[in-house]
Amino acid sequence: MEAYGDPIPKAGDSMTRVVVGMSGGVDSSVAAALLKEQGYDVVGIMLRLWAEPAAEGEDVEDARENACCSLESMSDARRVAAQLDIPFYVVNVAEPFRETIVDYFYDEYRAGRTPNPCLRCNRQIRFTLLLERALALGADYLATGHYVRVDDDPATGLRRLRRAVDTTKDQSYVLHVLSQYQLSHALFPLGTFSKPEVRAMAAERGLPVATKAESQEICFVAANDYRGFVRRYAEATGKPAPEAGPILDLSGRKLGAHSGLANYTVGQRKGLGISARAPLHVVRLDGARNAVVVGPAAALERETFTVHQTTWTSDIAPEGPIVVEIKVGYKAQPVRGLVTPLGDGRAEITLEQPIRAVTPGQAAVFYGGAAADEVLGGGLIE
């Protein structure tokens, strides 16, 4: 089977141009440094994304401090590029980012789902818009500081996406959406290193970001307050605000009222504002009824569920059921199960053991292959 693109370039191919997506953090900075040292023609690009605007009376820089493209981050990336003696550009994609990622984030939360905006950003912004810009600059590859590996399958010639060597930093979950075309133009220099090793390499090279703290927050949401963000975004854009509705038990009996589906998540126990003899958890967010459905902890356990918008790393869906390891969250432990394609981008998941808090809107990612560390595909939980 023919693979897209040329083989991954070998270290020292001095005529190979690589665009590095730089964020001003230690990971992308070290990725750029390693590629430059290996002889590649490196160009740094930072994307200027949409960030929540400052509130009235609030300092603009403080309001944007959370954004991955803050003025401080931009300055850090520029300093690193200057030290590495590589060109550096900033590309403004604020409006397509808002339309593609932010609107989606708002719509999903209001509908009672829990989105992962990084999945959508990686596919439609970073490895579409930025990749297009990289190719337009004459680059062969786009590199990022993600902890993940990519190589060619010796049996098929197809590009493989594999877990990072450091499983505590592995980011393959948020990159499972990449196609063969995107993977054929992707490089991930940090996939074989641990975070301490990357910080040590940054320090050895005197990079100014060696000790910079990393953010685990949603880049466009101020103070990581996503519940407040949904309300503020509705007010700023004129979109419908989250509406109050009933809290129901599993039989449909009303136990209380909620303040909007966006304020709750599957598995939540505290802050429900209801009393019961036994602890109750959010079992389901019912968008059709605008209802929060609660029940005992046992009701959170699931052995079967379906996914949609399924993607396969090979670009080819299997003809029948396959046994894989499945992760239903970025930090979740993989569980063995069966994936049965249903057509129309959907698949049924059957787990060998029940797990708790399978959350609609999050991804279920499938792992397997000869080394059991290969990303086979994934889909969004229905």
| Residue 290 near residue 284, CB atoms below 8 Å | no
| Residue 158 near residue 151, CB atoms below 8 Å | no
Q: Which amino acid is at 45?
A: I
Report pLDDT for 34.
Answer: 98
Please confirm, yes or no, whether 121 is among the known catalytic residues: yes
Report pLDDT for 67.
Answer: 55
- Residue-range domains of the chain with CATH: 17-145+189-224 (3.40.50.620), 243-295 (2.30.30.280), 300-381 (2.40.30.10)
Given 68, 69, 118, 121, the catalytic residue: 121
**360 DSSP 8-state letter:** B
pTM: 0.90
Given 68, 69, 118, 219, the catalytic residue: 219
Q: What whole-number distance in Å separates Cα of residue 106 and Cα of residue 102?
A: 6
- The residues pairing with 301 across neighbouring beta strands, listed in sequence order, are 356
Indicate the pairing of strand 346-356 with strand 335-343: antiparallel
| Residue 26 near residue 209, CB atoms below 8 Å | yes
Q: What whole-number distance in Å separates Cα of residue 90 and Cα of residue 43?
A: 11
| Residue 330 near residue 116, CB atoms below 8 Å | yes
Direct distance between the N- and C-terminal alpha carbons of the chain, in angstroms, rounded to an integer: 32
Tokens describing residue 67: 């954004």
What does the pLDDT profile of the chain (382 residues) look like in tens digits? 333 333 444 444 457 999 999 999 999 999 999 999 999 999 999 999 998 875 544 444 444 444 567 888 999 999 999 999 999 999 999 999 999 999 999 999 999 999 999 999 999 999 999 999 999 999 999 999 999 999 999 989 999 999 999 999 999 999 999 999 999 999 999 999 999 999 999 999 999 999 998 876 788 888 778 888 999 999 999 999 999 999 999 999 999 999 999 999 999 999 999 988 889 999 999 999 999 999 999 999 999 999 999 999 999 999 999 999 999 999 899 999 999 999 899 999 999 999 997 999 999 999 998 778 999 999 999 9
Report pLDDT for 68.
Answer: 64
Phi, psi of 75 (to 5 degrees): -65, -40
Q: What whole-number distance in Å separates Cα of residue 191 and Cα of residue 165?
A: 6
Query: How far does Cα 336 stand from its chain's mean position?
Result: 22
- Cβ density class 181-219: b for 16+ within 10 Å, e for less: ebbbbbbbbbbebbeeebbebbeebebebbebeebeebb
Please confirm, yes or no, whether 219 is among the known catalytic residues: yes
Give the gyration radius of the chain's Cα atoms. Answer: 22
Tell me if residue 375 falls in helix, strand or coil.
Answer: strand
